[in-house]
Structure 1
């Protein structure tokens, strides 16, 4: 079955100045009426190069409890490598449509990897103004190269190089989050699957939209994964729900945006908060972002870490296999 891609819809929409009705959000979701305009949310910015480890633990712990989101600078990933990652991703989405369809999700395929458009059930059949590409980048035993672009030719090398740099940052963040809960450095990572933790890359592609005040790139959600490490391009779009309002998040060149996801909220027994966020779109410019979701293996069970639970603070969440959590979340079923 031929799937209509948002990139193609956008080309027609930009010619006639309107968008199809399935992209027009209900009034209580439209960015024009629900964003607190003129205010950029200054989410915590944390310098990962500082040598005072206790201070770093305190900053990350506080950001994860109060915000569920923070940005890290001086993280050790070279800015040239981030630019290369962005360039090869952009080049893929600028290929002729039939070339992108080569790595599209096959009919009847139940996984998320591959090039695609719609991801999950949305209320009243609404759609996000976005195409995407998903593929696992780590560990090697989980990688399926059939979902990696062959074009541009440097795509694979660039993504593998970026992943190697990212692993060090991820391990450092998980260690700091662990210590912030009063645990040993490796306990949070072990509670997520240890060395089998899956790194799932997604490229979000939000083409220009003639009616950005009516549409959303991604509807409001929390990430299912443990943490998300995200590289944005310079086009504003990430919004966070804080104190009853939607705010734009300030863009900082070469920073990584870190989202606390559902699995960290669960294993911390609610001490860390999964961030509720959404994406807006732009009238003139293409917005893109490169999140990497750190996911437990599908069969791995995640629940509140026993050391964090006691008679005064009983478990607030069920322990369940990650794949079952995902199934319930994507199908809007109770957890």
Structure 2
């Protein structure tokens, strides 16, 4: 098993400067600013907040207006704060408390749950391995595991401490699954499709997987040089995110990095590549990244709603393709799409000549 340096250990070691493998390339550094200053900015574009209260209203006009707002945010931004989403706020707080308590354990306790990416054991406690040409690392540790459907979970990998972790997380996953159905229905209708169409296309109740990744970003002595998570788009259909109200999420919108403000009791939702492909680019899978800071630990709980790896071929739906709007994406399984993204990223990195110190 590969010995992995935990970022938490590094952060707690009293270092004043971060190791070089955490320092971002020069072209990225120009756009990394103080996250607290960025969050205070009132000018410029703001991530939309969508109120889902009326998404299933009996009143057709009210319902259609809610669907229209959701569709517009999905097409323009591909990310939004959801409020009145139907997930009990006290349950969200329990999930956050359980995750915080797990990450509050000594590192050696958490190591009992360590994953081993080299052998394909991806669930568990981990830190990013240097799997790219530049050897670049991210300033985060994480805990990753499948949370839904229940019959596909491996509870032996779930933290035993704190005692509420399994119950709170299981309950939360059920609510998110219901929320995903509501969103898929609304987005299907927004595209002029049958209400159950998108959900069917991503695997339906039996096959859609919900994978949770708790991201733990320790305080960083040089936040202007590092990233918690490097710029990427999500491969999922939808991603739902909770956080501990410490800002850090940044979106690349209209050529600029925009910080997402913290909205109490909201869930952040991303449209992922899967829906971008099915909609033939009408819905947007937005490039985003995570900033870190000196003063506060940031924790986020991301749940990725993913189609099965090999059972479904993802491609633009026939209704989304015409002579004027030809298919923008070739047919691929979900597994092939992930491979393609990794291959393309590594190819791009190989094109950049390595500079010697």
The TM-score normalised by the length of structure 1 is 0.94
Quick one: distance in 2 between partners of 1:107 and 1:197? 23
> Deviations for 1:264-303, whole angstroms, at most 9, x for unmatched residues?
1000001111011000001011000001000001112211
Residue number in structure 1 paired with 2:23: 24
Q: Does 1:322 pair with 2:334?
A: yes
> Mind listing any 5+ residue stretches in structure 2 that lack a counterpart?
348-357
Change (3 A) 1:63 1:107: closer
Does structure 1 conserve the Cα–Cα contact (< 8 Å) formed by 2:33 and 2:224? Answer: no
> What's the secondary structure of 1:95's corresponding residue?
coil
* Displacement of 1:33: 4.8
Quick one: distance in 1 between partners of 2:109 and 2:70? 42
Does structure 1 conserve the Cα–Cα contact (< 8 Å) formed by 2:130 and 2:136? Answer: no
The TM-score normalised by the length of structure 2 is 0.88
Residue number in structure 2 paired with 1:109: 119
Change (3 A) 1:248 1:91: same
Q: Say which is worse superposed, 197-206 or 305-314, in terms of deviation.
A: 305-314
Q: Which residues of 2 match residues 40-189 of structure 1 at below 5 A?
A: 41-50=45-54, 51=57, 52-106=62-116, 108-118=118-128, 121-122=131-132, 124-189=134-199
Residue number in structure 1 paired with 2:286: 275
Does structure 2 conserve the Cα–Cα contact (< 8 Å) formed by 1:139 and 1:198? Answer: yes
Quick one: distance in 1 between partners of 2:162 and 2:130? 29
> What's the secondary structure of 1:328's corresponding residue?
helix
Quick one: distance in 1 between partners of 2:339 and 2:120? 11
* Displacement of 1:178: 0.9
Does structure 2 conserve the Cα–Cα contact (< 8 Å) formed by 1:135 and 1:200? Answer: yes
Number of equivalences: 332
* Displacement of 1:327: 2.3
Q: Does 1:264 pair with 2:265?
A: no
Residue number in structure 2 paired with 1:4: 5
> Mind listing any 5+ residue stretches in structure 1 that lack a counterpart?
none
Quick one: distance in 1 between partners of 2:117 and 2:264? 39
> Deviations for 1:199-223, whole angstroms, at most 9, x for unmatched residues?
0011000000011111100000100
Quick one: distance in 2 between partners of 1:219 and 1:55? 35
Two-structure CA RMSD over aligned residues (Å)? 1.8
Q: Say which is worse superposed, 142-151 or 155-164, in terms of deviation.
A: 142-151
